[in-house]
């Protein structure tokens, strides 16, 4: 049982400038926020920076925080907005500059295996498995990916996902149906 | 419910988002329909596959880094803005610089050509001669001599 105060109470203390409360809050939510960003963005370093940015926003907007919704829904909404904005600005930057990188993410499982040394095979398999899943996730449109990540890894209800993304519950259902259908197709070879 | 309708709700069924009556209907249908059961199994397989995505663990100094970023608002607030302005204005600035260089180079080249003998037209004597010829022909008159305009002008003035 968690003897520490609930996040909503911590937020009230953070609004009064209590750094200890902020530390407890960060330690409590850092893993889930970091992983949400990582699963959505697909890049470890960028995920770390964005997750830190999320907590900066939490600190800055603590005074305006009203515990109407669950704290997790509120912080997920901050995270989702940051992620969407980050991708938008990354796409804008890409449009303005030439990108000569060869990261098309279309390698097959077998191709990558043959590119790597056969030693430490288990580790390699696991890494590759994760990369393939990440590639499949990254191929989804932003809203579908966010809905799927929130459902699959954070087990949010459709109602909560709708609040985070800012759409209706039926739209969430439809986003998830399409996301799952795409993933079925993308991960077909992987499963065989 | 028919298979078509069941298949549309399989995702929500998997997520436990159907109301209890509908949940029971889908469950009953899956028990009796092999095709829908296979489709649901496929959904479950994909869901299981997603388990394989690695988890990221925050650095032990994650909190310290957040605090440091919060306590350096000036550095973080101003610099990124300037960088952003610079990044966004790169293309218009580059185009303006190219245009200015082009204009300056054109003016400079023009003055060089006017000074050398390669193009006599640019020399001041040649230009004044040409202007003298044009003036003597009265080409700038509203009705130059010998033109139809001059004819009309005379008719009106009589």
- Shared domain check, A65 and A26: yes
Tokens 């209907």 identify what position?
Answer: B25
Same domain, yes or no: A83 and A136: no
Q: How far is A129 from chain B (nearest CA, A)?
A: 6
B63/A151 CB distance under 8 A:
no
A152-191 residue pLDDT tens: 999 999 999 999 999 999 999 999 999 999 999 998 876 5
pLDDT classification of B144: cutoffs 50, 70, 90: confident
Verify that A22 and A54 share a domain, yes or no: yes
Q: Could you tell me if A60 and A139 lie in one domain?
A: no
Q: Of A79, A101, A123, which residue is a domain's last?
A: A101
Both A15 and A89 in a single domain?
yes
pLDDT recorded at residue A101: 44
Task: Of A16-30, A108-122, B94-108, B131-145, give the lowest mean pLDDT range.
Answer: A108-122
Flag whether the pTM goes above 0.80.
Answer: no
- Closest chain A residue to B54 measured between Cα atoms? A130
Domain assignment of residue A146, given as a range: 102-192
Cite the DSSP H helix spans in B15-147: 20-32, 34-49, 62-71, 73-88, 90-115, 124-136
Same domain, A89 and A115: no
Per-residue pLDDT tens digits for B67-111: 999 988 655 555 566 677 777 778 888 899 999 999 999 888 877
Residues A95 and A107 grouped into a single domain: no
Residues A135, A69, single domain; the answer is: no
pLDDT score for A1 = 53
> In the predicted model, is pLDDT for residue A109 greater than 50?
no
| ipTM, 2 dp | 0.77
A24 and A57, same domain (yes or no): yes
B137 versus B17: the higher-pLDDT residue is B17
Burial A143-154 (b: 16+ CB within 10 A, else e): bbbbbbbbbbbb
Q: Please give the angle made by the CA atoms of B38, B22 and B1, to the nearest 5 degrees.
A: 60
**A169 in Cβ contact with B15 (< 8 Å):** no
Rounded to a whole number of angstroms, the distance between the first and last alpha carbons of chain B is: 103
Residue A181 burial (C-beta neighbours within 10 Å; 0-12, 13-18, 19+): middle
pLDDT tens digits along A60-102 = 999 999 888 789 999 999 999 999 999 988 887 766 654 444 4
Q: Give pLDDT, residue A78.
A: 96
* Residue whose C-alpha is closest to residue A179's, from A153, A155, A130, A146: A146
Last residue in a domain, options A101, A116, A149: A101
Residues A72 and A156 in one domain: no
Q: Which domain CATH number covers A27?
A: 1.10.1740.10
**A43-52, A138-147, A155-164, B85-94: least confidently modelled range:** B85-94
Mutation target among A132, A162, A177 for the B interface, most CBs of B within 10 A: A177
- Spell out which residues of chain B touch residue A35, defining contact as CB-CB under 8 Å: 55-56
Predicted local confidence at residue A36, as pLDDT: 97
Instruction: Find out whether A22 and A14 touch, Cβ atoms under 8 Å.
Output: yes
pLDDT at residue B45, as a whole number: 93
Statement to judge: residues A64 and A111 lie in one domain:
no
pLDDT in tens, B17-68: 999 999 999 999 999 999 999 999 999 999 999 988 989 999 999 999 999 9
Count of the separate structural domains present in chain A: 2
Q: What pLDDT sits at residue A137?
A: 95
Q: Is the pLDDT of residue A48 over 50?
A: yes
Q: The domain spanning residue A157 has which CATH number? A: 1.10.10.10
Mutate to test the interface with A, among B54, B75, B89 (most CBs of A within 10 A): B54
Q: B127 vs A138, which has greater pLDDT? A: A138
First to last CA, chain A: 42
SS3 of B114, please?
A: helix
Are residues A125 and A176 both part of a single domain?
A: yes
Cβ–Cβ gap A191/B58 under 8 Å: no
Give the distance from residue B124's alpha carbon to the nearest chain A alpha carbon, in angstroms: 48
Q: What is the pLDDT of residue A6?
A: 93
The answer to whether the beta carbons of residues A134 and A103 sit under 8 Å apart is no
């Amino acid at each position: 049982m968690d003897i520490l105060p609930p996040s909503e109470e911590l937020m009230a203390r953070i609004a009064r400038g209590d750094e200890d409360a902020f530390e407890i809050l960060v330690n409590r939510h850092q893993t889930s926020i970091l992983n949400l960003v990582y699963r959505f963005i697909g890049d470890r370093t960028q995920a770390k920076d964005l997750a830190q940015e999320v907590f900066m926003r939490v600190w800055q907007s603590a005074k305006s925080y009203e515990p109407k919704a669950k704290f997790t829904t509120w912080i997920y909404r901050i995270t989702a907005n940051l992620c969407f904005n980050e991708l938008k600005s990354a796409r804008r930057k890409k449009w303005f500059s030439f990108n000569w990188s060869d990261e098309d993410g279309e390698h097959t499982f077998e191709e990558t295996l043959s590119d790597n040394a056969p030693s430490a095979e288990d580790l390699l398999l696991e890494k590759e498995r994760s990369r393939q899943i990440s590639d499949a996730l990254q191929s989804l449109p932003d809203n579908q990916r966010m809905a799927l990540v929130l459902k699959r890894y954070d087990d949010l209800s459709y109602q909560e996902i709708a609040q985070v993304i800012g759409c209706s519950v039926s739209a969430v259902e439809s986003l998830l149906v399409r996301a799952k259908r795409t993933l079925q197709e993308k991960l077909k070879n992987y499963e065989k | 419910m028919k298979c078509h309708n069941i298949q549309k709700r399989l995702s929500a069924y998997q997520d436990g988002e159907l109301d209890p009556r509908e949940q029971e209907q889908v469950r009953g249908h899956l028990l009796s329909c092999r095709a829908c059961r296979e489709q649901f199994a496929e959904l479950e397989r994909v869901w299981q596959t997603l388990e394989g995505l690695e988890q990221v663990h925050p650095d032990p100094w994650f909190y310290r880094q957040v605090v440091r970023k919060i306590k350096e608002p000036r550095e973080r607030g101003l610099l990124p803005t300037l960088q952003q302005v610079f990044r966004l204005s790169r293309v218009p600035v580059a185009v303006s610089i190219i245009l200015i260089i082009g204009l300056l180079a054109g003016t400079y080249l023009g003055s060089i050509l006017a000074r050398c003998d390669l193009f006599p037209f640019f020399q001041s004597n040649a230009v004044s001669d040409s202007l003298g010829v044009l003036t003597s022909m009265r080409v700038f008159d509203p009705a130059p001599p010998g033109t139809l305009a001059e004819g009309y002008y005379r008719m009106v003035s009589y």
